[in-house]
Amino acid sequence: MTRIIADISVSLDGFVTGPDAGQDNGLGVGGEALHIWAFSDDPDDRRVLSEATARSGAVVLGRRLFDIVDGPNGWDDETGYGAREVGEPAFVVVTSSPPESVRLTDLDWTFVTTGLADAVTAARERAEAASSRCGRDLDVVLMGGGATVGSALDAGLVDELRLHLAPVVLGAGTRLFTGGAPHTLVRRSVTPTPNTTHLAYDVLRR
């Protein structure tokens, strides 16, 4: 069964970027510390990343994050979705208007202008089609940014929340949770490593 997974790295004080995040500094000041785990050689970090990438049938992201990953300092042949795993699922971007051009033309991009719920629906269809082709269940992954993940949670679109809790206090930046609707979570797993604590929760639908 295809599940909707919100997957994001976060600081101890709840930020998914450092301050002053922008096109040329997507993670903000100090934000690189959030993703050290994704490039580590720790076996548990590698396993978590590999398993998540392998199960990704489609990925949803917001326009701001798309502009960063498709920008001149974004993904390349060695570093892309899944960090060093460089997975290539279908990508669905929530945006008010599609870009005039795409740099990463070898990836499968779909631009949805009718809202997050429609983007998740489109991604589910792509993931289910990919599941049928490969003969195993694949997921939809909401990779961010923080506003996209938070909005999906508030809209009741998420089945599972995966947080990679980095041992860093950023003090400012982009918050993951901004005082939206309450959520009841049930813990699925906790995997501590020297670089992060991988947390997985089922999200109980309201």
What is the tens place of the pLDDT at every residue in 124-151?
999 999 999 999 999 999 998 899 999 9
Angstrom CA distances, 127 to 102, 110, 170, stand at: 22, 13, 34
Tell me the mean pLDDT in the region 111-115. 98
Predicted local distance difference test score (pLDDT) of residue 174: 92
Tell me which of 76-85, 111-120, 180-189 is least confident.
76-85
Domain membership of residue 29 as a residue range: 4-136+145-204
Tell me the mean pLDDT in the region 163-174. 96
Under the banding of pLDDT at 50, 70 and 90, the label for residue 192 is: very high
Q: Domain count of the chain?
A: 1
Predicted local distance difference test score (pLDDT) of residue 110: 97
Tell me the mean pLDDT in the region 27-49. 95
Angstrom CA distances, 78 to 26, 135, 187, stand at: 18, 28, 33
Tell me the mean pLDDT in the region 48-65. 95
Token duo for residue 26: 């997507």
Q: 73-109: per-residue pLDDT in tens?
A: 889 877 888 877 767 899 999 999 999 999 999 999 9
Token duo for residue 60: 């949803």
Token duo for residue 79: 């570093």
Which amino acid, one-letter code, is at 135?
G
Token duo for residue 103: 């740099």
Token duo for residue 192: 């501590």
Predicted local distance difference test score (pLDDT) of residue 206: 64
Token duo for residue 74: 């974004």
Predicted local distance difference test score (pLDDT) of residue 121: 98
The per-residue pLDDT of the chain, averaged, comes to 93
Tell me which of 18-27, 87-96, 119-128 is least confident.
18-27
Q: What is the per-residue burial (b if ≥16 Cβ within 10 Å, else e) of 136-168?
A: eebbbbbbbbbbbbbbbbbeebbbbbbbbbbeb
Predicted local distance difference test score (pLDDT) of residue 79: 83
Nearest alpha carbon to residue 34 among 200, 201, 199, 196: 196
| Domain containing residue 97: CATH number | 3.40.430.10
Share of the chain above pLDDT 70, in %: 99
